[in-house]
Amino acid sequence: MPSFGLRHRRAWASLFSQLLRPSGFVCIREVHFHSQVSEAMLTSQLKPHQEKSNFIIKTPKGTRDLSPQQMVIREKILDMVVGCFKRHGAKRLDTPAFELKEMLTEKYGEDSGLIYDLKDQGGELLSLRYDLTVPFARYLAMNKVKRMKRYHVGKVWRRESPTIVQGRYREFCQCDFDIAGQFDPMIPDAECLKIMCEILSGLQLGDFLIKVNDRRILDGMLAVCGVPESKFHAICSSIDKLDKISWNDVRHEMVAKKGLAPEVADRIGDYVQCHGGVSLIEEMFQDSRLSQNKQALEGLGDLKLLFEYLTLFGIAEKISFDLSLARGLDYYTGVIYEAVLLQTPAQAEESLNVGSVAAGGRYDGLVGMFDPKGHKVPCVGLSIGVERIFAILEQRIKTSGQKIRTTETQVFVATPQNNFLQERLKLISELWDAGIKAELLYKNNPKLLTQLHYCEHMGIPLVVIIGEQELKEGVIKLRSVVSREEVAIKRENLVAEIQKRLSES
């Protein structure tokens, strides 16, 4: 569907209103060397690494730098996400990058092995945070906060085998929105799904679907199918693979590796291959086995109410009740959800498989784990998978050949003559003090052509030019880089004229 991809490329491109000529690092040909270092002193202090064996300059495995080009894309995404969180009345919170090690234990089930620990250098045992949810729960319990709508943007760390092609890293950024507090049922839950829809639509990632299930329905289903409680975890993790491998393979794993009776696996198969909307919820209410289970009925009742609210929000058609959705983390207790892109727009042929781009659920017991008296604070929330969204958008921009402007400089201060550094410095200082974004070349006597080339390379729209003639007449030349038109402006009017031009563009 090339027209689909194209439409989306164009729409996203409009977000980047300042896309310009190739930026990157501008080469200026003549370089005047000036020894600002005493070589003798330096070498006595600093030994270059090449003297050591096996030294490779790199970032740690599974991590990366973000270049200025990448940071522009990253910040566009974060602005959109944070803007949505604020639209829904959330406050911002920040927590340390590491927590006491014991804060993170028994929260992540099988994934606990992926937690980064800090070395014991004397003092407390510490671990890097694995997500933003557990620190939030710790904050609520520690400060005895019973009600809070907060967002948190920050890095988290997981020692996963990085498959970088799919946008998975050991260090990655999460954007979390959570609602803590005892409220009437499913209203905050519905808002979380609304937020996911707003963000995924706003980012123009193409068509998406949010799968919804409930831990109580999942547990109830396993119980009525005859799975012993001790195997719930293992069987859930098999079910969770259904978006990657076929039911036959999942069934084989359950029976051959996890020792489930074939008829039990088949009963599970009847359920986990179901997905649909409100009608599927009704069907499950009537299901002879499932309707016997109290937990499952509670979950189904809540899902029904949820879909009522989703319909009022106009997003019901984006949500699919999916009995195969299992979400690994131990702390979920109620509704769970996960957003997937239905196709990778424009790059389907390049098989950029990004998996889920947002997920979350209800965790009513987590805060109580931190409270000395076990007092619970019900919570529901979501997390946006920034790295995966980033991978899609970066790929799209690459494919389109668009260049991204990495600075916001509005005015360049130039001179056609030698020995005008002093005047340029005075002038640019005036611009900075007036709040105008301005640059000059760090050279005593740059050539005019070099200066104008720099503006074109960097996409700077305006140039102010000062020379002997201008100085004598008390004027400055103001030049448009694109049209190359020049006008002389009285020096005292320059700032006002520049501000007028910039507000018009």
Shortest distance in whole angstroms from residue 236 CB to a copy of itself:
12
Quote the tokens at residue 458. 């960097």
Closest to 95 in 3D by CA, of 146, 140, 64: 140
Nearer to a copy of itself, 126 or 323 (CB): 126
Nearer to a copy of itself, 141 or 254 (CB): 141
Identified binder of a copy of itself from the candidate list 32, 401, 483, 503, rule CB under 8 A: 32
Nearer to a copy of itself, 14 or 442 (CB): 442
Give DSSP secondary structure letters for 166-230: GT--SEEEEEEEEEES--STTHHHHHHHHHHHHHHHHTT---EEEEEEEHHHHHHHHHHHT--GG
Task: Name the 3-class secondary structure at 362.
Answer: strand
Residue 243 DSSP code: G
Binding to a copy of itself (CB under 8 A) within 358-397 occurs at 362, 364-366, 368-374, 376, 378
**Part in contact with a copy of itself (CB under 8 A); list of ranges 174-182, 235-243, 278-286, 340-348:** 174-182
Binding to a copy of itself (CB under 8 A) within 233-292 occurs at none
By CB under 8 A, residue 449 contacts a copy of itself: no
Task: Name the 3-class secondary structure at 430.
Answer: helix
Nearer to a copy of itself, 225 or 346 (CB): 225
Shortest distance in whole angstroms from residue 78 CB to a copy of itself:
11
Cα separation, 411 vs 273, whole angstroms: 60
Binding to a copy of itself (CB under 8 A) within 52-111 occurs at 52, 55, 57-61, 63-68, 70-72, 74-75, 86-100, 102-103, 106
Triad 271, 272, 277: Cα angle to 5°: 80
Nearer to a copy of itself, 14 or 422 (CB): 422
What's phi and psi for 379, nearest 5 deg? -140, 150
By CB under 8 A, residue 350 contacts a copy of itself: no
User: Applying CB under 8 A, what is the total number of residues that bind a copy of itself?
Assistant: 140
412 in Cβ contact with 460 (< 8 Å) = yes
For residue 403, count CB atoms less than 10 angstroms from its CB and return exposed for 0-12, middle for 13-18, buried for 19 or more: middle
User: What letter represents residue 351's amino acid?
Assistant: S
Cα separation, 178 vs 376, whole angstroms: 15
By CB under 8 A, residue 117 contacts a copy of itself: yes
Nearer to a copy of itself, 3 or 33 (CB): 33
By CB under 8 A, residue 131 contacts a copy of itself: no
Nearer to a copy of itself, 90 or 212 (CB): 90
Shortest distance in whole angstroms from residue 275 CB to a copy of itself:
23
